[in-house]
Chains A and B, each alone.
Chain A
Amino acid sequence: RPSVPKQQELDRIKELPGQPKVKFSQFSGYVTVNERHGRALFYWLTESSSSPHTKPLLLWLNGGPGCSSIAYGASEEIGPFRINKTASSLYLNTFSWNREANLLFLESPSGVGFSYTNTSSDLKDTGDERTAQENLIFLIKWMSRFPQYKYRDFYIAGESYAGHYVPQLAKKIHDYNKAFTKPIINLKGFMVGNAVTDNHYDSIGTVTYWWTHAMISDRTYKSILSHCNFTAEKASDQCDESVNYAMNHEFGNIDQYSIYTPTCL
């Protein structure tokens, strides 16, 4: 076997509590992204279940902002393990994306999940720019720890507010790579789902969805469109009133994230 950096071996997960037997390798740990403030990001790599050496690397980010990639991406969506009801054991996800790629889940920015900062004020002034910058720093350092992924086909994916994180990180990588003839981060593309894209157009499209799916009345639909200026920094009182009426009196007790699914009690 090729020699691997020591830190990589220290990050190897022997077995997670309650985990079924699997044939793929897993690693997790921290990468410091800002020494002065003590900001460190936590990652979990689940390698592909077949020939990981030939498969691409996919970085998955969740949205929020402030939501965990290992809670949603890994444990609910594309990861190999699901958690049982009592949280006592894990079971396999038949449709895990690690059949096709090596999956890198990243808790980002610091303050999300296991990622942390030693400077508590950081939690109150984080935003898009720092997130993208530190995700890039994470990747560069992570690839030094996992050199087998240098030059490997690399993709980014995510959902919801990661509609910001994913293209913003892609742009950072694209700009960073311009300085190299053969960049180590071999970014090929990205994919986003139900992604926040443009405040103005997203908002009009969202209200339209509520109306076309009979979640709100004609009257409320017209009221929202006439009172809400979706380009404004702050919504007017009349706009808030119309939207709140829809949510409190017309939506009903539904799961807004999946309108035909029973709500979790």
Chain B
Amino acid sequence: CTESYAEKYYNRADVQRAFHANLTRIPYKWTACSDVLIKNWRDSDSSVLPIYKELITAGLRIWVFSGDTDSVVPVTATRFSLSHLNLPVKTRWYPWYSGKQVAGWTEEYKGLTFATVRGAGHEVPLFQPKRALVLFRSFLAGKKLPKS
């Protein structure tokens, strides 16, 4: 329901003033998502896997995570897609921990780290904020997710 709170807050005139936003008086209300854009989206790559291949070769740090209770872009979708990169496994599948509980599972490939987040839906940091922060810390540090 938090989306509806945002719809109210960001349409307040005093909030927009504080943000220096909407100075040109946009002729429609602020919305969390634009129906017009989604209906008229012009070009969309059918796959971004070729970009992954190029950027892995370039040596960028790439992490992919998946909240395991999302059914819109679910964990099996991501795993199935990533499997077609055919990356060699660097660190084999293991459960990672946060607060003495299994926070998900992870596998490190050569050039890409994949991690699931247990109990999280589509918006992982909303549903599992502590686990998401642990994930982010590990990503920034370039370190493995905690094994205990």
How many contacts A-B (CB < 8 Å)? Answer: 309
Residue numbers in B under 8 Å from A129 (CB-CB)? 43
- Asked if residues A170 and B34 are in contact (CB atoms below 8 Å), the reply is no
Q: Which of B9, B49, B82 has the most CB of A within 10 A?
A: B9
- Asked if residues A261 and B121 are in contact (CB atoms below 8 Å), the reply is yes
B65 contacts which of A66, A85, A193 (Cβ < 8 Å)? A193
Over the window 1-42 of chain A, the binary record of Cβ atoms lying under 8 Å from chain B Cβ atoms (1 yes, 0 no) is: 000000000110111110000000000111000000000001
Over the window 177-201 of chain A, the binary record of Cβ atoms lying under 8 Å from chain B Cβ atoms (1 yes, 0 no) is: 0000000000111111111111111
Given contacts A87-B5, A114-B30, A170-B51, contact A42 B73 (CB under 8 A): no
Task: Report the contact-size class of chain B (Cβ under 8 Å from the partner).
Answer: 35 or more
Bound-state Cα–Cα, A253 to B69, Å: 15
Residue numbers in B under 8 Å from A215 (CB-CB)? 71
Residue numbers in B under 8 Å from A71 (CB-CB)? 3, 6-7, 10, 32-33
Residue numbers in B under 8 Å from A203 (CB-CB)? 77
Bound-state Cα–Cα, A13 to B58, Å: 38
A198 contacts which of B36, B48, B117, B133 (Cβ < 8 Å)? B48
Residue numbers in B under 8 Å from A188 (CB-CB)? 60-61
A258 contacts which of B20, B49, B127 (Cβ < 8 Å)? B127
Residue numbers in A under 8 Å from B137 (CB-CB)? 100
Task: Report the contact-size class of chain A (Cβ under 8 Å from the partner).
Answer: 35 or more
A112 contacts which of B34, B61, B63 (Cβ < 8 Å)? B34
- Asked if residues B74 and A264 are in contact (CB atoms below 8 Å), the reply is no
- Asked if residues B12 and A191 are in contact (CB atoms below 8 Å), the reply is no
Interface status of A240 (Cβ within 8 A of chain B): no
* CB of B78 to closest CB in A, whole Å: 6
Point out residues on A near B: beta carbons under 8 Å: 10-11, 13-17, 28-30, 42, 44, 56, 64-68, 70-72, 75-78, 82-87, 90, 93-95, 97, 99-101, 109, 111-114, 116, 118, 123-129, 155, 157, 159-160, 163-164, 167-168, 170-171, 174, 187-206, 208-210, 212-213, 215, 231, 255-261, 264
List 25 A–B pairs whose Cβ atoms lie within 8 Å, in order of A's numbering.
A14-B18, A16-B15, A66-B36, A66-B37, A72-B123, A83-B2, A84-B5, A93-B129, A116-B26, A126-B41, A126-B42, A160-B122, A168-B45, A174-B60, A190-B61, A191-B63, A194-B66, A197-B48, A199-B46, A200-B47, A208-B76, A208-B80, A209-B71, A209-B76, A231-B46
- Beyond A127-B44, A192-B64, 17 additional contacts (C-beta under 8 Å) are A14-B18, A75-B9, A76-B125, A114-B30, A125-B42, A171-B55, A174-B58, A189-B61, A190-B63, A198-B84, A199-B46, A201-B81, A205-B79, A205-B80, A256-B71, A258-B123, A260-B69
